[in-house]
Amino acid sequence: MHTVLLGPPGAGKGTQAERLKVRLGLVHIAMGNLLREVVKKKTSLGEKARAFMEEGKLVPDSVILELLKNEIEFEKKGFILDGFPRNLSQARKLDELLDKEAEKLDLVINLEVKEAVLIERLKGRLICSECGRVYHKSNIDGPSKTCKDCGAPLLQRNDDNSDIIKKRIEVYLEHTHPLIDYYRKKGILRNVQGEGTSEEVFQRIMEKAVSYKL
């Protein structure tokens, strides 16, 4: 099963992809994590991506596709794509990559969340500097800001401030929102209400996944 999770920044794609990975036995390919990893390692691809990411802009397709191509060729199980595609050109390139592997995209889940909720989520988001686990300031007890899994410090991303958050949402609406029509026409799009608890959203997604399999 090859799945894409769509949704604006702060919609919860990463959290839900991790839960789906465990439940469905799929590989979670998080484009944001892949990009941050190459930036951290200061690879040539990472240096190209860094300036765009820090300004809240989309990383060029050439960089994204090179990273993704390696992942898809390596992973032979089904996958959940999180953070890709982000525009129509990338969606068509993804179709081409899968065609070469004699595969196809099976299901696209579109998480729908209001802008005010997205901004509130992202302004309070903290990310583990080592394992990448996501937290929210409102859910942390006491002054300690360390990861419960590995003990590493929790950090706030440079682009999780009000001005850049709004810019990222604008970029999403301009470039990524048209994908909804693209996948709807293919008959594989399922809209899911992305507000509520993580468990509530997960159950809604699973209902769509089960109905797809049927």
Residues marked active site are found at 13, 86, 125, 157, 168
How far lies 205's CA from each of 94, 110, 111, in Å? 22, 9, 9
Which residues lie closer than 8 Å to 26 by C-beta, 6 or more apart? 1, 3, 20, 77, 78, 79, 80
CA angle, residues 198, 201, 202, in degrees to nearest 5 = 85
Closest CA to 6 of 199, 175, 151: 175
Question: Which amino acid does the sequence have at 48?
Answer: K
DSSP summary character for residue 129? T
Q: Residue 139 has what DSSP assignment?
A: G
What whole-number distance in Å separates Cα of residue 56 and Cα of residue 73? Answer: 29
For residue 197 the two structure tokens come to: 């608890």
Q: Are 125 and 136 in contact (CB under 8 A)?
A: yes
Place of tokens 């919860």: 12
